[in-house]
């Protein structure tokens, strides 16, 4: 065996090995089609080398022609593989050029299979021997078939296709790939094409050994793919590191969730499949051993809250900071607990849109809040009772007055009726007045009862002017008794506020009472109280002005609990008043009056239009 034979065998073996490796890669991971194409190309080159070896060692023209007939099959597969490899590896190239190359070669292949001896020769007349590397190589002699031009044009199309694809890739910035793949293919395919043209069209006497030219191409491509392999190994290492880091952060998250007693969960918004931590599953009352649908979470939810929870799950969650919800669940034991949940939508580019969130048990907080609200109401009520007791003198007057009217009228009527000729018209007038007075007493009692009742808060749209008017009536007698002159200016057409009548009346009574107390040291005839209502943007306000002893240097001090200037005062009135107004979303402020005294302003938000 000579050097040449040995070289061809080595080429064939090397190419087969490469083909085997890349077929293996491709079989394992079908997505890397470039490796598949490369394997096909390498296998084709191996076949070319093997067939070329048979051709140069042919003993007669018939055998040579027969091998050359077979030779076109690996050439075709090699060309197809090359076209696909370039397409897949560079991601460029005009498809029609590639298809032209494949099409021309396919036509050539068909013609070849229909021809005898092959597409290269119309007839083979004999064999010529050429000496290469000390070895005598046989090569056919005969009439060249003009149809061979079709097969060779396919190579021209291939070169054009590769050159075009490489140019595009180069422009895109994939310069190394463009250069290695593009240049090697253009150069070596052109060389193969050149040698074939020279040999078959009688310009030179030499065997056409394509495998020699294709070997560098295979090697360059193999090198290219090995770079991919190196990259994927590096990626795998990075991925491992990231996986470890991810596991670490997952552990931290789980620890944090455990410490916060938070249940973490995520829902596939397409399928409704629920993933949840054990804590979350136990909170939802779900078993840990099987998969769950998000709707199962709804079962233990309190019926009054179910619709809101359903909306939460199905909601758009446009806010990236997440949406929160508080709801009640009924445990199997019958106990009701409060859960707080925060969820946010994640629409990742790959994968289904999910809703992720955390649920915590907020029962203790809720109970504390409820207890606080209850205590606040209780305090309000107590303060109201205290205010009323301060007003008892005025209230007695308010009740006495109608009673006195009723009494005197009734007795007058009795006397009139005892007469022989009673004036019935007068008696009727008296009865009408008695009814009016009775109604007036009834109003006082109703108002008193309202103030003494500890009712649940009832917000409703109320006319502030009406509230002020009612309170002024209520405390009017007390003001008279204390020698206070009152000036009330109600702004006409004031819009309604959203308020709970009784506590707001309480605030007004309290502030008015303080204003009166502040003026108790003033000289007689110098106790002027001014009450004004006014609109202020989205609020309606009541301003209560006095000319009394005024405020401390820091007016905010008067709102502190236990602040009082009265020996018997508890110092809770204004603190409670401010908390009542704040609970209405309003504000209660104090500032000095000019030249003396204080101005208290109570502002309440207007009721929504049409409410």
For other proteins, the binding residues (CB under 8 A) are 393, 396-397, 400-401, 403-409, 411-412, 415-416, 426, 430, 433, 436-437, 477, 480-481, 485, 524-525
Backbone angles phi and psi of 199, in degrees to 5: -70, -50
Check: CB of residue 529 under 8 Å from CB of residue 486: yes
Helix (H) / strand (E) element for 273: namely strand 273-276
Q: Which CB atom, from 131 or from 414, has the smaller least distance to other proteins?
A: 414
**R_g (Cα) of the chain, nearest Å:** 51
Both tokens of residue 137?
Answer: 């190589």
Q: Quote the CA–CA distance of 163 and 584 in Å, as a whole number.
A: 78
The single residue listed with the structure tokens 């409704």 is 272
Closest to other proteins by CB, 367 or 481: 481
> Least distance from C-beta 392 to other proteins, angstroms?
9
Judged by DSSP in three states, 497 sits in: strand
Burial state string for 182-209 with b = 16 or more CB within 10 A and e = fewer than 16 = bebbbebbbebbebbbebbeeeeeebbb
Q: In whole angstroms, how close is the CB of 529 to other proteins at the nearest point?
A: 12
Helix, strand, coil tally for the chain in percent (to 5): 60, 15, 25
Nearer to other proteins, 350 or 419 (CB): 419
Interatomic CA distance for residues 358 and 453, integer angstroms: 42
Q: Nearer Cβ to other proteins, position 164 or 433?
A: 433
Q: Are strands 587-592 and 539-545 parallel, antiparallel or unpaired?
A: unpaired
CB of 434 to other proteins, least distance (A): 9
Distance of CA 481 to the CA centre of its chain: 65
Q: Shortest gap between Cβ of 437 and other proteins (angstroms)?
A: 6
Q: CB 530 → other proteins: shortest distance, Å?
A: 16
543 strand-pairing partners: 532, 601
Q: Calculate the CA 321 to chain-centre distance.
A: 7
Per-residue b/e over 24-51, b at no fewer than 16 CB within 10 Å?
ebbeeeeebebbbbbbbbbbbbbbbbbb
- Report the nearest approach of other proteins to the CB of residue 372 (Å): 40
List of E strands, 305-375: 323-330, 336-346, 354-361
C-beta of 414: minimal distance to other proteins in Å? 8
Nearer CB in complex with other proteins: 80/430: 430
Q: Which helix (H) or strand (E) holds 49?
A: helix 33-56
183 vs 405, which CB is nearer to other proteins?
Answer: 405
* DSSP at 301: B
* Minimum gap (Å) between residue 397 Cβ and other proteins: 4
CB of 7 or CB of 477, closer to other proteins? 477
> Nearest approach, Cβ of 583 to other proteins (angstroms)?
36
Residue found by looking up tokens 């040698």 in the block: 195
- Residue 24 or 432: which CB sits closer to other proteins? 432
Whole-angstrom Cα distance, residue 201 to residue 195?
Answer: 10
Nearer to other proteins, 420 or 594 (CB): 420
Nearer to other proteins, 152 or 408 (CB): 408
> Dihedral sign, CA of 155, 160, 161, 166?
positive
State which residue, 258 or 438, has the beta carbon closest to other proteins: 438
- Does residue 65 contact residue 234 with C-beta atoms inside 8 Å? no
480 vs 561 by CB, closer to other proteins: 480
**Residue whose CB is less far from other proteins, 198 or 486:** 486
Q: Supply the minimum distance, in Å, between the C-beta of residue 387 and other proteins.
A: 19
Smallest distance from other proteins to CB 391, Å: 13
- Is there a contact between 262 and 359 (Cβ–Cβ < 8 Å)? yes
What is the nearest approach in angstroms of other proteins to the Cβ of residue 306?
58
Q: Where are the beta strands (DSSP E) in 29-166?
A: 121-132, 135-144
For tokens 């606040």, the residue is 376
- Cα 466 from Cα 255, distance rounded (Å): 59
Count other C-beta atoms under 10 Å from residue 369's C-beta: 12
Nearer to other proteins (CB atom), residue 438 or residue 589? 438
Q: How far is the CB of 447 from other proteins (least distance, A)?
A: 18
The closest alpha carbon to 77, from 42, 25, 107, belongs to 42
Q: Which residues pair with residue 328 across a beta bridge?
A: 338
Smallest gap from residue 441 Cβ to other proteins (A): 11
Helices (H), 456-525: 464-481, 501-518
Taking the complex as a whole, how short is the minimal distance between the CB of residue 569 and other proteins, in angstroms?
21
Q: In angstroms, rounded to a whole number, what is the distance separating the alpha carbons of residues 413 and 177?
A: 120
Of 145 and 409, CB closest to other proteins? 409
Q: In whole angstroms, give the CA distance from residue 383 to residue 509.
A: 11
CB of 489 to other proteins, least distance (A): 18
Q: Which residue has the tokens 């030779």?
A: 71
If the CB atoms of residues 377 and 405 are measured against other proteins, the closer one turns out to be: 405
């Amino acid at each position: 065996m000579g050097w040449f034979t040995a070289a061809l065998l080595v080429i064939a073996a090397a190419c087969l090995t490469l083909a085997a490796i890349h077929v293996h890669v491709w079989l394992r991971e079908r997505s890397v089609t470039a490796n598949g194409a490369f394997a096909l190309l390498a296998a084709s080159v191996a076949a070319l080398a093997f067939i070329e070896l048979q051709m140069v060692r042919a003993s007669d023209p018939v055998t040579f022609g027969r091998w050359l007939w077979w030779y076109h099959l690996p050439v075709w597969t090699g060309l197809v593989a090359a076209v696909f490899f370039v397409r897949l590896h560079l991601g460029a190239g005009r498809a029609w050029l590639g298809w032209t190359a494949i099409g021309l070669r396919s036509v050539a292949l068909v013609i070849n299979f229909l021809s005898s001896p092959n597409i290269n020769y119309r007839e083979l007349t004999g064999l010529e021997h050429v000496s290469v590397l000390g070895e005598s190589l046989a090569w056919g002699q005969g009439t060249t078939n003009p149809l061979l031009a079709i097969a060779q044009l396919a190579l021209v199309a291939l070169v054009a296709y590769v050159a075009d694809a490489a140019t595009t890739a180069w422009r895109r910035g994939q310069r190394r790939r463009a250069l290695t793949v593009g240049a090697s293919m253009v150069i070596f395919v052109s060389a193969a094409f050149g040698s074939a043209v020279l040999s078959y069209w009688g310009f030179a006497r030499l065997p056409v050994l394509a495998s020699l030219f294709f070997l560098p191409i295979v090697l360059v491509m193999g090198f290219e793919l090995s770079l991919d392999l190196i990259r994927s190994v590096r990626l795998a290492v990075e991925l491992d590191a990231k996986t470890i880091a991810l596991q670490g952060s997952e552990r931290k998250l789980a620890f944090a969730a455990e410490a916060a007693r938070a249940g973490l969960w995520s829902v596939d918004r397409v399928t409704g499949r629920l993933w949840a931590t054990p804590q979350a599953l136990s909170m939802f009352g779900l078993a840990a051993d099987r998969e769950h649908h998000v709707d199962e979470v709804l079962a233990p939810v309190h019926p009054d809250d179910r619709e809101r929870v359903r909306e939460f799950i199905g909601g758009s969650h446009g806010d990236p900071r997440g949406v929160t919800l508080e709801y009640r669940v009924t445990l199997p034991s019958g106990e009701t607990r409060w859960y707080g949940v925060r969820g946010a939508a994640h629409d990742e580019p790959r994968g289904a849109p999910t809703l992720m969130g955390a649920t915590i048990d907020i029962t203790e907080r809720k109970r504390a809040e409820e207890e606080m609200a209850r205590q606040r109401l209780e305090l309000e009520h107590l303060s109201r009772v205290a205010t009323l007791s301060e007003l008892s003198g005025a209230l007695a007057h308010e009740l006495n007055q109608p009673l006195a009217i009723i009494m005197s009228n009734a007795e007058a009527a009795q006397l009139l009726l005892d007469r022989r000729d009673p004036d019935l018209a007068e008696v009727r007038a008296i009865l009408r007045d008695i009814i009016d007075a009775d109604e007036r007493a009834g109003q006082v009692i109703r108002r008193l009862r309202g103030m003494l009742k500890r009712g649940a808060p009832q917000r409703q749209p109320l006319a502030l002017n009406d509230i002020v008017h009612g309170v002024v009536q209520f405390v009017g007698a007390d003001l008279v008794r204390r020698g206070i002159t009152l000036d009330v200016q109600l702004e006409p057409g004031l819009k309604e506020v959203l308020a709970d009548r009784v506590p707001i009346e309480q605030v007004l009574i309290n502030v008015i009472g303080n204003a009166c107390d502040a003026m108790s040291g003033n000289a007689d005839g110098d106790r002027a109280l001014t009450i004004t209502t006014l609109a202020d943007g989205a609020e309606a306000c009541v301003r209560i002005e006095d000319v009394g002893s005024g405020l401390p240097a820091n007016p905010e001090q008067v709102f502190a609990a236990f602040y009082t200037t009265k020996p018997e005062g508890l110092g809770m009135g204004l603190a409670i008043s401010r908390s009542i107004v704040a609970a209405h979303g309003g504000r209660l402020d104090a500032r000095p009056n000019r030249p003396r005294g204080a101005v208290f302003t109570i502002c309440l938000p207007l009721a929504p239009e049409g409410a």
